[in-house]
Amino acid sequence: MNIDEYLQAMKQEIDESVKDDEKIQEFLVWLHEKTASLASPYQESAVRAFYCVVVSKKWGRDVNREICRILDSEFDEGLSQVREVASKLMELDIRDDFIYFYDKSIYRQTFQLLYRVKRMSALDIVIDRDLAIFCDQDFDEHEIYLDRTTALLVGLFSPWLREQYKAAGFSYQKSDEDFLQIIINLTKRHSDRFSINNSRSFKKDLSLVLSEYRNLKLDWQFSDEQRQLLDQYYSANKFLVDCLQEYNPSPEVQKGIKDTLLLPIVEIERRRLNVAKQLTMNESSESNSILEVQETQEILLPVIEVQSHEIDATDTKLIGSTQESSSPGTQEIQEVVLPIIEAEESENSKQESYPTSTKTNVYRTIFLCLLLILALSIASAIFLKKYV
């Protein structure tokens, strides 16, 4: 088993480990749908790992955070940029859904900040993360996350900046404005939210709002056994990611594993079927191309054969006519040349009994060549005169 096969087998075993737990599969389906709706430019599996951190209590956070960092090194930088802008907005005088400016330069700087943050891909992720941290019942002193997010929401979704955003070319959704107003109303209603009982009531109401308006489901109520199984599942995925870095499998296998990390079985199977269908379509296309070539050959070969036979017949006719036309000329050449050659041979036979010198032989050879050239010239002249 080579490294590609080994890693693929490991990935399959990890997916199979949570296949039969309906609650975990339901969670993974939600995780896929939520992260896919963000349409962020970051690695899909990195965003899924981060949202495992978002909805977790204390379990699985460190492992998934590390998976996220390994899969997409630019992810943390995007989160930090959004938080930096949100922290600057917190310094402004925010009342309800309005930011009060005492100076035009502050207004200009604020709008520049908001214009910048609206172009950041991690904006929605930071909003979800901060509100999830605040809603975590284990944190009673994290009101800064709510204040920072409220400042960000007021700057982004308040009606007083609606026209400015439209002029800048940004879309402005009514649902965003509604979500901001609900957050503000909740804050007013639970004005004493930092008392223990009221704080928990406020967080519970806020969790329901996040589930309805942002599809951010925080209260999964996993059993201890399911949490333990998820911890093992996260750790196994982290080990698999480490193996991808260390053993450097083929690009196809590496991409296939990364793209399907932390996905539900139903989505993995759907993608597998799509790949199989694509391969089948490619094979079918190749088969069709071969059939088309064969059909073309079946159509063209008879034509080529007929043309070949016609060419052969034409060549035969030409050769026959050439032979017929050249026969008289050949006979005439023979009639002229042969007597000369016979006479010369007769002369040679007569002179064989007499010794001759080398010089005489040379002269005789030259004479014969000239005689032959003369005979050929005469024959050519006769042929040209008769047939040209």
Give me the tens of pLDDT residue by residue for the chain, a chain 388 residues long.
Answer: 799 999 999 999 999 999 999 999 999 999 999 999 998 999 999 999 999 999 886 666 788 999 999 999 999 999 999 998 888 888 876 665 566 666 677 777 777 888 788 888 899 999 999 999 888 865 556 778 888 888 888 877 777 666 776 776 766 677 777 888 888 888 777 666 555 556 778 888 899 999 999 999 998 999 999 999 999 999 999 999 999 999 989 999 999 999 999 999 999 999 999 888 887 777 766 666 666 666 666 665 565 555 555 555 554 554 454 444 444 444 544 454 455 445 555 655 554 444 445 555 666 777 677 777 777 777 666 666 665 5
**pTM > 0.85:** no
CA distance 343 to 365: 15
Q: Are 118 and 156 in contact (CB under 8 A)?
A: yes
Six-digit token string for 174: 């009514």
207: Cβ contacts below 8 Å, ≥ 6 apart? 135, 218, 219
CA angle 28, 149, 75 (to 5 degrees): 50
CA distance 349 to 170: 117
Cα torsion angle, 53, 55, 60, 61, sign: positive
CA distance 309 to 302: 10
Q: What is the DSSP letter of 160?
A: G
Pairing label, strands 93-95, 98-100: antiparallel
Concatenated DSSP letters of 111-150: HHHHHHHHT-TTHHHHHHHHHHHHH-TT-SS-HHHHHHHH
CA distance 31 to 13: 20
- The CB density around residue 233, as the number of other CB atoms within 10 Å, is 21
